[in-house]
Structure 1
């Protein structure tokens, strides 16, 4: 896990930004992988060669239970956004400029590659794959509707739809090929 220092962060949609304080916390460097998930959930199966790929087809409650077994939790929406945007409110983990090259489908949620292997998708804190790979569950939302964060390149194959401020709401029991998660833990 990577430690994210406490402090102010710009969060929210373009034109509707707000500054909030986030306490120090830790967050996984990359999404939870099939192998990591399988160490905790013995019934988890995945195809040969996919041990290092982000785990997917996991509901909000399953992701939450996995994190709890690791003595962690899902990140809040503000924590996820701070880990992705840094303190300067950047649009993408690497800055405010749209990447010149389209994302390679190997980093999408359908054609998976080892978690954390995209050398360009790195936040100011060193957190990887926050603008691509798979959507990620967060602890934000209410009731049956939960918030996901992160880019989903297999849907758009364009960085424009992978901004650090993008969010989606899904039913908590959703299972998709392009939906995974990472864990967080309070620093105190």
Structure 2
């Protein structure tokens, strides 16, 4: 199969949602000011990538098969459970950042930035930013209490106001700049820059300490390397808006 044919085949089954430009009061603290962050218009995959979709990607890109991918691009946990059996409509997990990025490129996209992901994840079914609602926050936090041993459900949960699904309640998700989420050691708000070098330090100096669900994602992503993978970490893709 040619690369063009593979890209068309992948893109055919992937629905993307247009995300309008806007501003975001990010949970991440910044050194210079606390002004809202501007997010340019982009498109975001409606749902996370599924097991079935990733298996088809491996068929057309065998270099990402577990037996062929170089160790520098995938840790021993990469696709450890394999993709045979199980529900094809469940989100794929155990995928490294490198493999997720390669998939998105094959689909004509890329991984979303943290701000793009956070911007989309702030919405509920009727509001573009529901983070001030304690009931909504409590519902999201309830997911984190779910035992990790439970089988993952299918993708396709309730859509938020943009039409994006499964931003919460299904899997953690890779973002393009996951390794840049730690607060800079030169930050004027950092009492001890050394403490920012440890796992989970991304949650130390953050603007919104009440949004624990998102803070936990920052802590997890900050602790990973690009070759790592876990059984609860999946991904979705984004695309630039063509003008």
Q: Pick the TM interval, shorter chain.
A: 0.7 to 0.9
Matches within 5 A, 1:118-133: 119=158, 122-133=159-170
Structure with the largest fraction of helix:
2
Tell me by how many angstroms 1:94 deviates: 10
Q: How much has 1:113 moved relative to structure 2? A: 0.8
Residue 173 of structure 1: which of 213, 227, 231 is its match?
A: 227
Structure 2: any 5+ residue segments left out of the alignment? 1-15, 66-81, 183-210
- Pairwise CA distance, 1:100: 9.4
Residue 39 (structure 1) aligns with:
56
Poorly superposed stretches of 4+, deviation over 2 Å: 86-97, 99-106, 160-166
User: Pairwise mapping of residues 72-83 of structure 1 onto structure 2 (< 5 A)?
Assistant: 72-83=109-120
Partner residue, 2:130: 90
How do residues 143-154 of structure 1 correspond to structure 2 at under 5 angstroms?
A: none
TM-score, length basis structure 2: 0.59
Question: Residue 162 of structure 1: SS of its match in structure 2?
Answer: helix
**1:25 aligns to 2:42 (yes or no):** yes
- Unpaired runs of 5+ residues, structure 1, are 146-159
Q: Which has the larger radius of gyration?
A: 2
TM-score, L = length of structure 1? 0.74
Q: How many residues align?
A: 168
Q: Does structure 2 retain, via aligned residues, the 8 Å contact 1:81–1:164?
A: no
